[in-house]
Amino acid sequence: MQSLWVRDSGELYYSKGADLNQKHPALIVGAPYGGVKEQGPCVYGNELAQKGFIVLTFPILFVIGDRAHSRFFSEDAYQAALELKEMYVVEDAEHIDLYDRRERLPFEKLAEFFGTNM
């Protein structure tokens, strides 16, 4: 698998044998709220590139609650992520808090991360 940084703002995935002078189906893959669910964009990028797609992903900020029942999904995806990444843990938060309690969302961290990395 090949990957290539594009203008320091994203990562481009394509198969090793891809002829980049030819047209290929292309996708842009991102994560909700600048975070991740069970799969990170890099996981999709790698898999879809193996199927002939050109995939562009962006820096990924994993936002998880320290008490989230699904925390291990994010930790696993973080470990698998190849692109520029960071994990931010919201103290005293469960998974649902990061969807239903707007005041718990780390908007300042989102702005800092993407302002620096894009």
pLDDT tens per residue across span 64-114: 899 988 888 888 878 877 667 888 999 999 888 887 888 888 888 888 887
- Mean pLDDT within 30-55: 71
DSSP-assigned letter for residue 5: E
CA nearest 109: which of 91, 82, 83? 91
